[in-house]
């Protein structure tokens, strides 16, 4: 059937998103469609949140994907009759604003707010269901004032502490560097060799909650397993022992008598061959006093930086200190103490005993420095007389060997035996060894020596010490005038800002010049959205009525830190009376990245996709530069990045193809948790579908002019179509609830295909039963499409003559009786290989199914007259004949 023109000969006008999308956005805005009523109207509440963006100034395709997902969820739950909270704000403090200000001479605030304006406009053009009346930026004084209140409440609750920690220090720019700003051991801007420096810093005592944060992970069943596992590993609980090793008298530096180590494997104590301490361990400093060579080595270790990844991937090196320790179970056995660059100061005691046979790193170290490596744990089933460790360690459990009184025990028994014996030995008035539970998790250092962040509301007074800023004096505002051109901390060298009177004694005092980590800002914004303009951090009864967030969506890169900090913050806010729950996010979803092909020209320089022309010849793709016509090499598909120029600007897409096509495309094909590759063909395909649906439903409308009957069952074609319609309504809803957007979209394609065919049937024989089925299908398709393509759906809804918005319409009611099938198609296998299929009544008796299967020509031929060895019948599923 021809479907491109109307019966009266007029072409159906193409759908024009450039015209219709702004129109519907205006209608939603005017009708305040997505603004939540102030009063609780009794509807079930649902809180959808996407991680708020950093206002870089331009929307990224990753944002488009993230917010499209959230919006589908939000629109779906609205259609389910719920009151949906779907807010948006800006994670607006942070380094890029300062960097931009330094580069251009402007002010971080101006740069940030201008970016927010630009990005809000871009976001609004996506047609999201956001309630903009709740918008805020974390750099708004109204927001950070509340954050300072929270800081002080945490302070009074004993959740804040001040202690020393190490930072990367740039001696030229006089600034602390982030790990990503340290490139090959040098500062990114100055190029100076980076030093490790100790600073006194503010910390939140997240370790107080280590055990609770760990055990509560079990309750987070709306989170991806991989995120839960990553959090568990990050907290890193281990059961081990603290063991104190006595220094030999002749080697001990003055005033020192012992070395305390933490180990999770006390059972391997007889396999110890050396002790390793971190470069800044006190014993290392003492040993280096008269040892310039060791001093130089310690210096070298200090220059590596603070990044764990760097520390652990670099060449493992050590140097003997000349100090020796005595083995606890053999006074004649002494072991050398090394300074080693792979021992982390901040974990355990900053010292370990090396057991080369049980740890690959220790073994590599022992082989390098020619130290002993005796096997002490043997896997079950090996022979003790021949088992040895050569260049591969064995870290598993097993049977103890070469271990004196532990020989023959299991690792677990040996652990207990050592714990018991060392617990019974007293040195310096304390047991030599005690059991200790350790966590890898460290306290959260929140101090930043930067201007563009939330000031820590503390005053330092020579008389009174640390004085919290009184609540009446909050917020501690950032000074408007700032000189970022000088090296160092701009707040610290501001001429007046830090000089204040002590609120306690009135004498001259100094403000804290540290500002807070931007992770603090993002650790409670989800709670603030529930009462964004309140004069307290939260309005507890309102916050408690909305929280936890029902569905949180964001990048997997935040799977550990941001989520863990938010979980801590929620507990701390519970303790200080701002909330009455512990877990902020009931449902969590981590989306994949958006990737794109990379291109390089004949000079090996990166080329942006917009400058590349691609042609297909004989199935192969060739690329040339649009301007120069020179050849381009098509490279691998990678995460969009500035350096590789393979990013796509969503604004171009939104302007050319429209928001609906962009939303549809980023959600089709790839499962949302996986990476999606942006392709020109993909967005064009989405665009075609927009046009196809518009055309199809316009034609359908013409077919619907006439009488409709409710007696759809009278007509075979109508009934078949109705079944598909109801099946789609049901499964699209289920797929959205499970966040399987790609599968929902596949279902919608199938319904569209079915409707094309059925429209032809209606055109040929337009009886009233068919018209009724088509009318129902048209409504269902439009509503089911509306979470994905809201503008198009509104346009169709209006074209159909509906009197309200599709955004205010309810999800179709599924007629379950239409979903029950009377017969099933069952594949028949012979020896696990499909040889045919049979159609049988649903829930038919196994014996009749078996008989039916065996009578198939194909099966009979394979049997060759013999009886089958076995026939497996899985009801309604499969038959397998074993020959």
Partner RNA sequence: GCGGGCGUGGCGGAACUGGUAGACGCGCCAGACUCAAAAUCUGGUUCUGGAAACAGAGUGUCGGUUCGAUUCCGACCGCCCGCACCA
Q: Site residues for RNA, window 637-696 (CB under 7 A)?
A: 638-639, 668-671, 674-677, 679, 681-682, 684-685, 688-689, 691-692, 695
Of the two residues 166 and 324, which places its CB atom closer to RNA in the complex? 166
Subset of 300-329 contacting RNA (CB under 7 A): 306-309, 312-313
CA–CA dist 700, 760 (Å, integer): 10
Smallest gap from residue 592 Cβ to RNA (A): 8
Subset of 497-536 contacting RNA (CB under 7 A): 517-519, 522
Contact call for residues 424 and 67 (beta carbons, < 8 A): no
Of the two residues 532 and 763, which places its CB atom closer to RNA in the complex? 763
Of the two residues 22 and 868, which places its CB atom closer to RNA in the complex? 868
Smallest gap from residue 520 Cβ to RNA (A): 10
Of the two residues 43 and 727, which places its CB atom closer to RNA in the complex? 727
Would you call 185 exposed, middle or buried from its count of C-beta atoms within 10 A (0-12, 13-18, 19+)? middle
Smallest gap from residue 421 Cβ to RNA (A): 29
Of the two residues 557 and 716, which places its CB atom closer to RNA in the complex? 557
CB atoms within 10 A of CB 633: 12
Smallest gap from residue 684 Cβ to RNA (A): 6
Residue 745 is classified by DSSP as: H
**Three-state SS string across 656-677, please?**
HCCHHHHHHHHHCCCCCCCCEE
Task: Kindly tell me the number of DSSP H helices and DSSP E strands found in the chain.
Answer: 25, 37
Subset of 336-365 contacting RNA (CB under 7 A): 360-361
Is 280 near RNA (CB under 7 A)? no
Subset of 749-768 contacting RNA (CB under 7 A): 749-750, 753, 756-757
Alpha-helical regions (H) of 323-471: 360-368, 411-424
Would you call 706 exposed, middle or buried from its count of C-beta atoms within 10 A (0-12, 13-18, 19+)? exposed
Q: Tell me: cis bond preceding 394? Omega within 30 of 0 counts.
A: no
Interface residue with RNA, options 32, 179, 215, 536 (CB under 7 A): 179
Interface residue with RNA, options 4, 386, 496, 817 (CB under 7 A): 4
Is the dihedral angle over the CA atoms 680, 683, 687, 692 positive or is it negative? positive
Of the two residues 186 and 558, which places its CB atom closer to RNA in the complex? 558
Of the two residues 431 and 671, which places its CB atom closer to RNA in the complex? 671
Which whole-number Å values give the CA distances from 483 to 100, 140, 492, 496, 668, in the listed order? 13, 20, 11, 12, 48
Contact call for residues 662 and 653 (beta carbons, < 8 A): yes
Contact call for residues 555 and 590 (beta carbons, < 8 A): yes
Is 850 near RNA (CB under 7 A)? no
What mask of x and - would describe binding to RNA in positions 580 to 599, judged by CB under 7 A? -------------x------
Is 238 near RNA (CB under 7 A)? no
Is the dihedral angle over the CA atoms 863, 868, 872, 876 positive or is it negative? positive
Q: Which backbone phi and psi does 741 adopt, to 5 degrees?
A: -65, -35
Stretch that binds RNA, among 106-114, 128-136, 223-231, 495-503 (CB under 7 A): 223-231
Smallest gap from residue 754 Cβ to RNA (A): 10
Smallest gap from residue 835 Cβ to RNA (A): 6
Is 201 near RNA (CB under 7 A)? yes
Is 775 near RNA (CB under 7 A)? no
Interface residue with RNA, options 64, 441, 662, 762 (CB under 7 A): 441
Of the two residues 51 and 283, which places its CB atom closer to RNA in the complex? 51
Interface residue with RNA, options 742, 768, 809, 815 (CB under 7 A): 742
Smallest gap from residue 612 Cβ to RNA (A): 17
HSE at residue 125, side-chain half, CA atoms within 13 A, is 22
Stretch that binds RNA, among 26-34, 114-122, 214-222, 736-744 (CB under 7 A): 736-744
Is 1 near RNA (CB under 7 A)? yes
Nearest residue to 632 (alpha-carbon basis) of 668, 666, 603: 603
Q: Which residues pair with 439 in a beta bridge?
A: 237
What mask of x and - would describe binding to RNA in positions 87 to 116, judged by CB under 7 A? ----x-xxxx--------------------
Q: Total number of residues binding RNA (CB under 7 A)?
A: 103
Smallest gap from residue 231 Cβ to RNA (A): 9
Stretch that binds RNA, among 292-300, 377-385, 737-745, 840-848 (CB under 7 A): 737-745
Is 200 near RNA (CB under 7 A)? no
Interface residue with RNA, options 118, 216, 560, 704 (CB under 7 A): 560
CA–CA dist 166, 168 (Å, integer): 7
The torsion angle over the Cα atoms of residues 316, 320, 321 and 323, rounded to 10 degrees, is 120
CA–CA dist 843, 823 (Å, integer): 8
What mask of x and - would describe binding to RNA in positions 460 to 499, judged by CB under 7 A? ----------------------------------------
Of the two residues 173 and 328, which places its CB atom closer to RNA in the complex? 173
CA–CA dist 441, 351 (Å, integer): 17
The torsion angle over the Cα atoms of residues 199, 204, 207 and 210, rounded to 10 degrees, is -150
Q: What angle do CA 533, 535, 541 make, to 5 degrees?
A: 80
Is 803 near RNA (CB under 7 A)? no
CB atoms within 10 A of CB 360: 13
Of the two residues 679 and 809, which places its CB atom closer to RNA in the complex? 679
CA–CA dist 386, 379 (Å, integer): 12
Smallest gap from residue 570 Cβ to RNA (A): 18
Stretch that binds RNA, among 27-35, 184-192, 420-428, 560-568 (CB under 7 A): 560-568
Of the two residues 312 and 481, which places its CB atom closer to RNA in the complex? 312
Is 66 near RNA (CB under 7 A)? no
**Residue where the block lists tokens 């930067």:** 450
Smallest gap from residue 117 Cβ to RNA (A): 17
**Residue where the block lists tokens 């700032």:** 482
The structure tokens listed for 587 are 């449902």
Is the dihedral angle over the CA atoms 7, 9, 15, 19 positive or is it negative? negative
What mask of x and - would describe binding to RNA in positions 239 to 278, judged by CB under 7 A? ----------------------------------------
Interface residue with RNA, options 226, 368, 477, 533 (CB under 7 A): 226
Helix H or strand E encompassing 274: strand 274-277
Which residues in 525-665 belong to E strands, given as ranges?
551-555, 588-591, 594-601, 606-607, 612-617, 620-625, 631-639
CA–CA dist 405, 414 (Å, integer): 9
Of the two residues 640 and 805, which places its CB atom closer to RNA in the complex? 640
Of the two residues 192 and 286, which places its CB atom closer to RNA in the complex? 192
Contact call for residues 259 and 324 (beta carbons, < 8 A): no
Nearest residue to 113 (alpha-carbon basis) of 134, 135, 137, 88: 137
Subset of 153-172 contacting RNA (CB under 7 A): 167-168
The structure tokens listed for 456 are 């820590």
What mask of x and - would describe binding to RNA in positions 823 to 842, judged by CB under 7 A? --x-x-x-xxxxx-x-----
Smallest gap from residue 124 Cβ to RNA (A): 21
Interface residue with RNA, options 148, 181, 782, 793 (CB under 7 A): 181
Which whole-number Å values give the CA distances from 659 to 587, 628, 668, 828, in the listed order? 26, 32, 14, 47
Smallest gap from residue 97 Cβ to RNA (A): 8
Stretch that binds RNA, among 233-241, 327-335, 414-422, 485-493 (CB under 7 A): 233-241
Nearest residue to 95 (alpha-carbon basis) of 164, 188, 166, 165: 188
Stretch that binds RNA, among 103-111, 229-237, 253-261, 767-775 (CB under 7 A): 229-237
């Amino acid at each position: 059937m021809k479907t491109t023109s109307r019966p009266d000969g007029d072409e159906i006008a193409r759908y024009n998103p450039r015209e219709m999308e702004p129109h519907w956005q205006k209608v939603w805005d005017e009708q305040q469609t997505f603004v939540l009523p102030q009063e609780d109207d009794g509807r079930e509440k649902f809180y959808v949140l996407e991680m708020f963006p950093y206002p870089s100034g331009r929307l990224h395709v990753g944002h488009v994907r993230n917010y499209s997902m959230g919006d589908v969820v939000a629109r779906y739950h609205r259609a389910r009759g719920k009151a949906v909270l779907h807010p948006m704000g800006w994670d607006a403090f942070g380094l890029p604003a300062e960097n931009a200000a330094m580069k251009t001479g402007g002010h971080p605030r101006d740069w940030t707010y201008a970016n927010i304006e630009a990005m809000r406009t871009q976001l609004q053009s996506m047609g999201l269901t956001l309630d903009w009346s709740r918008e805020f930026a974390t750099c708004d004084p109204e927001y950070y004032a509340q954050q300072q209140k929270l800081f002080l409440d945490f302070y009074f609750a004993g959740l804040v502490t001040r202690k020393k920690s190490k930072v990367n220090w740039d001696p030229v720019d006089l600034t602390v560097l982030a790990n990503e700003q340290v490139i090959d051991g040098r500062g990114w801007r100055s190029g100076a060799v980076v030093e490790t420096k100790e600073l006194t810093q503010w910390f939140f005592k997240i370790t107080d909650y280590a055990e609770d944060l760990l055990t509560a992970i079990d309750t987070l069943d709306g989170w991806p397993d991989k995120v839960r596992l990553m959090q568990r590993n990050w907290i890193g609980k281990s059961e081990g022992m603290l063991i104190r090793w006595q220094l030999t008298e002749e080697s001990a530096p003055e005033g020192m008598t012992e070395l305390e180590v933490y180990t999770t494997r006390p059972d391997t104590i007889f396999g110890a061959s050396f002790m390793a301490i971190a470069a800044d361990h006190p014993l290392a400093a003492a040993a280096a006093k008269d040892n310039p060579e060791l001093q130089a080595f310690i210096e070298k270790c200090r220059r590596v930086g603070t990044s764990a990844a760097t520390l652990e991937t670099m060449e493992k090196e050590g140097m003997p200190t000349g100090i020796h320790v005595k083995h606890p179970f053999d006074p004649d056995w002494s072991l050398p103490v090394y300074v080693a660059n792979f021992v982390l100061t901040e974990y355990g005691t900053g010292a370990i005993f090396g057991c080369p046979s049980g740890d690959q790193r220790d073994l590599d170290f022992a082989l390098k420095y020619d130290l002993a490596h005796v096997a002490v744990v043997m896997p079950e089933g090996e022979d003790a007389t021949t088992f040895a460790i050569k260049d591969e360690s064995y870290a598993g459990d097993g049977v103890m060997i070469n271990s004196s009184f532990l020989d023959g025990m299991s690792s677990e028994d040996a652990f207990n035996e050592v714990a018991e014996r060392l617990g019974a030995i007293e040195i310096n008035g304390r047991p030599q060894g005690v059991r200790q539970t350790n966590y890898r998790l460290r306290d959260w250092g929140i101090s930043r020596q930067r201007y563009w962040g939330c000031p820590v509301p503390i005053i330092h007074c020579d008389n009174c010490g640390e004085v919290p800023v009184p609540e009446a004096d909050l917020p501690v505002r950032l000074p408007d005038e700032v000189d970022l051109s000088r090296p160092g901390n701009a707040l610290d060298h501001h001429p007046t800002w830090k000089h204040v009177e002590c609120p306690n004694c009135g004498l001259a005092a100094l403000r804290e010049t540290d500002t807070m980590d931007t992770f603090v800002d993002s650790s409670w914004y989800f709670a603030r959205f529930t009462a964004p303009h309140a004069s307290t951090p939260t309005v507890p009864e309102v916050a408690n009525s909305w929280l936890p967030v029902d569905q949180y969506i964001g990048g997997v890169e935040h799977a550990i830190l941001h989520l863990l900090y938010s979980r801590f913050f929620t507990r701390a806010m519970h303790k200080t009376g701002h909330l009455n729950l512990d877990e902020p996010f009931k449902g969590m979803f981590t989306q994949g990245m958006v990737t794109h092909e990379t291109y390089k020209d004949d000079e090996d320089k990166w080329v942006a996709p917009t400058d590349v022309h691609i042609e297909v010849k004989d199935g192969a793709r060739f690329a040339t530069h649009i301007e120069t016509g020179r050849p381009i090499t098509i490279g691998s598909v990678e995460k969009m990045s500035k350096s590789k120029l393979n990013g796509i600007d969503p604004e171009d897409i939104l302007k050319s193809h429209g928001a609906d096509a962009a939303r549809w495309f980023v959600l089709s094909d790839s499962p949302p948790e996986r990476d999606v590759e942006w392709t020109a063909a993909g967005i064009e395909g989405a665009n075609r579908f927009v046009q196809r649906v518009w055309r199809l439903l316009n034609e359908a409308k013409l077919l619907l002019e006439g009488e409709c009957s409710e007696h759809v069952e009278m007509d075979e074609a109508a009934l078949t179509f109705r079944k598909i319609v109801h099946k789609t309504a049901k499964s699209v809803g289920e797929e959205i609830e499970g966040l399987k957007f790609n599968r929902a979209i596949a279902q919608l394609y199938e319904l569209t295909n079915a409707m094309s065919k059925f429209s032809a049937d209606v055109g040929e024989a337009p009886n009233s039963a068919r018209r009724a089925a088509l009318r129902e299908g048209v409504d269902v398709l439009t509503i089911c499409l509306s979470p994905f393509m809201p503008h198009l759906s509104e346009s169709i809804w209006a074209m159909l003559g509906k009197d309200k918005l599709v955004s205010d319409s309810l999800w179709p009611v599924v007629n379950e009786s239409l979903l029950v099938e009377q017969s099933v198609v069952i594949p028949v296998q012979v020896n696990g290989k499909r040889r045919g299929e049979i159609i049988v009544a649903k829930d038919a008796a196994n014996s009749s199914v078996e008989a039916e299967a065996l009578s198939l020509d194909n099966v009979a031929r394979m049997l060759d007259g013999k009886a089958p060895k076995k026939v497996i019948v899985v009801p309604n599923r499969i038959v397998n004949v074993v020959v």
